[in-house]
Structure 1
Amino acid sequence: MHLNFEILKALPKTQCLSPTLNFLVQVHYLGKECLDSALLQVRVMIEPKIKDYSLSELKRIERRFGPPESLNSILWCEKMLLLNRINSIQTVDLPIEIRDDHESAMWYYFSSLEGGEIFLKFFFSGICYLLAEDKITVRSIPWSSECSYLMPYEIWKETLFRYYPDSLWIRLDHSLYERPQDYQLSHRLPSLQTALERLLDKEQTETRRIG
């Protein structure tokens, strides 16, 4: 299948319910038949080995993943992408939501970084419909169709901070949420954040004393 892909750029997508990055994908079709449409599955992988890290980044990565040299590709997401009729070149949007799943490898990795560029690989697979002499032919697109993109870390950070300026959401079970809330009320603290700060400071002080 004569399809080539290229990521032109990534920008924060506005007017979304949650932080979303919009990747601009340019599709090159080199076939002779008319490509009427295509339905693609897109798999986005993070390649952590292709990056230079600062000492503080390496410490955070090792604490979360183990030795950096053992860190393999990380699945970011899988998306569906629809292409309309292509004569030679078509540019389409690929919006990718930044899910606030703080337990995912993707979130652990991104939150360990301070700057630089993140090496991403995009894999494409699916089916396309070719039109010739009023007949439609179905062809498959193998996973070997791929492209790469160096995404600036600041783009990810900017996208996230547009929705959560100076703060983040953390999901907690109701029973767990009630514990710091009870601590806040019993100690007459002004906010839940103050209660969490005091509990963490208390834990750090106890750790230093034992150590």
Structure 2
Amino acid sequence: MSSYEFSVVDVFAEPYAAAPQLTARLRIQETSGETIHAIALRCQVRIEPQRRRYAEADESGLRALFGDRDRWVDTLKPFLWMQCSSMVQGFTGITEVDLALPCTYDFEITGSRYLHAVGEGDIPIVFLFSGTVFTKGVNGFGVVQVPWDCEASYQLPVQVWQQMIASYYPNTGWIRLDHDVLAELAGFKAQHGLTTWEETVQTLLATRDGVQP
């Protein structure tokens, strides 16, 4: 009977992707000696925020996600970061494969907000694997499922994510706005003769704080 062990060797920023992407280098071991023809591998990647400590500087960014610090014992729960997949070529024994982890800087996504809020240290993540394994069967191919308990933990340095985002969005970020809100913002920009969106937002913030623009 086939038996599988998964581990994460490394997670690194992909330098030549068309969009922001991390790449996880996986090591897969089949321990029974059976020849594997291919694996259609699926993976859920979850962040486990309760498994690390946080500096005071992290609190303001995390408050919108988890509330005040005195509530974190109840609110810091694992959450889904992404789902991804990869086709693993045939092997016997041990193989390594790259798993693409597409990322976004969209602050509507919980993972992006969390990673942006944490200043330094490692982020505990867990890879939960599933999928279909194609083996040599009695009448040709055999098909079995990746066991439900196959998973691997990894400590992702937050600096890896920060450097990746900085390479695609140097010193910038973006937020998604409703069409009506964007239209009002454009009207404010034109009314005050402002030349950039950044200047428009700064003027609004100054107005909020009672400062004359």
**TM-score normalized by the length of structure 1:** 0.90
Q: Report whether the alignment pairs 1:4 with 2:9.
A: no
Percent identity over the alignment?
24
Aligned counterpart in structure 1 of residue 168 of structure 2, from 134, 155, 163: 163
Q: C-alpha root-mean-square deviation of aligned residues, in Å? A: 1.7
Q: In the alignment, which of 86, 90, 103 is matched to residue 98 of structure 1?
A: 103
Q: What CA deviation, in whole Å up to 9, does each residue of 1:153-201 have, x standing for no partner? A: 0000011111000001222233222222221221112322111101012
Q: What's the secondary structure of 2:176's corresponding residue?
A: coil
Work out whether 1:68 is the aligned partner of 2:57.
Answer: no
Q: Work out the CA distance in 1 between the residues paired with 2:206 and 2:156.
A: 36
TM-superposed deviation, 1:133: 6.4
8 Å Cα contact 1:26-1:92 kept in structure 2: yes
Give the deviation of 1:19 after TM superposition: 0.8
Aligned to 2:129: 124
Hey, what does 1:108 align to over in structure 2?
113
Residue 132 of structure 1 deviates from its aligned partner by 5.2
Aligned length: 206
Distance 1:82 1:159 in 2: 24
> Structure 1 unaligned runs (5+)?
207-211
Amino acid at match of 2:72: P
Per the TM alignment, residue 134 of structure 1 is displaced from its structure 2 partner at its CA by: 6.5
The residue identity in structure 1 corresponding to 2:144 is R
Unaligned runs of 5+ in 2: none
Larger mean CA deviation between 34-43 and 124-133 belongs to 124-133
Deviations 1:22-56 (A, max 9, x none): 11111111123211111121010000011111012
Residue 156 to residue 63, structure 1, CA distance change in 2 (3 Å): same
Deviates more, 1:86-95 or 1:169-178: 169-178
3-state SS of the aligned residue for 1:106? helix
Runs of 4+ in 1 over 3 A off after TM superposition: none
